[in-house]
Amino acid sequence: MLQDSVTEAISAAFFEELASGGYARLSLEAVAKRAGAGKAAIYRRWPSKLEMTVALISAVAVDAPEVADSGTLRGDVLAFLVDIADALRHRLPSKIIPDLLAESARNPELAQALLAAVRDTRRAKATRLLERAIERGELPADVDRELALDFLAGPLYWRLAVVHTPTSADYLDRLTDKLLAAFAA
């Protein structure tokens, strides 16, 4: 139990430090200090900053809920967008995600690890949304899955994480309708 509480404290401290200073300035010493733990407690769990980052970010990505099955493509897409919007509006992911993407451009090892652990996991979950729609006859079997997956996350990520533009109350509904039209084209 004590081990679990130390791991939880380190994890919470890691995300706070990552959000406040970014990956490039992240130090395991600062994480340990914020967690009230020694550096040895971190190194027993993760041998490096990279491995710690990949493990903790991956755990969050893998723990993300499955894409809701509302029974309709429209309902599933809207639920997916709501989940993404909620995550991108949260104070930690809103700072961490853009920073890790920027750092990935400079750090190929980080990029590769995050692609395998996060992107691939998240895209697999979103693919199930498309597969259900195909099974229900709402999308053709030959729908361009790769492009559809890009469309699902791209516009909302751009708006909330890149250009930081607020959304109106009906934005996600309107975006859902546009995505469905694009999928059908």
What is the residue-wise DSSP string for the chain? Answer: -HHHHHHHHHHHHHHHHHHHHHHHH--HHHHHHHHT--HHHHHHH-SSHHHHHHHHHHHHHHHSPPPP--SSHHHHHHHHHHHHHHHHHSHHHHHHHHHHHHHHHH-HHHHHHHIIIIIHHHHHHHHHHHHHHHHTTSS-TT--HHHHHHHHHHHHHIIIIIS-----TTHHHHHHHHHHHHHH-
Q: Where are the domains of the chain?
A: 2-45, 58-184
pTM for this structure?
0.81
**Per-residue pLDDT tens over the stretch 14-43:** 999 999 999 999 999 999 999 999 999 999
Q: Residue 132 pLDDT more than 50?
A: yes
Class of domain 58-184: mainly alpha
Pick the CATH number of 2-45 from 3.40.50.12160, 1.20.1050.10, 1.10.10.60, 2.40.30.10: 1.10.10.60
**Per-residue pLDDT tens over the stretch 58-99:** 888 766 677 889 999 999 999 999 988 988 888 888 888 888
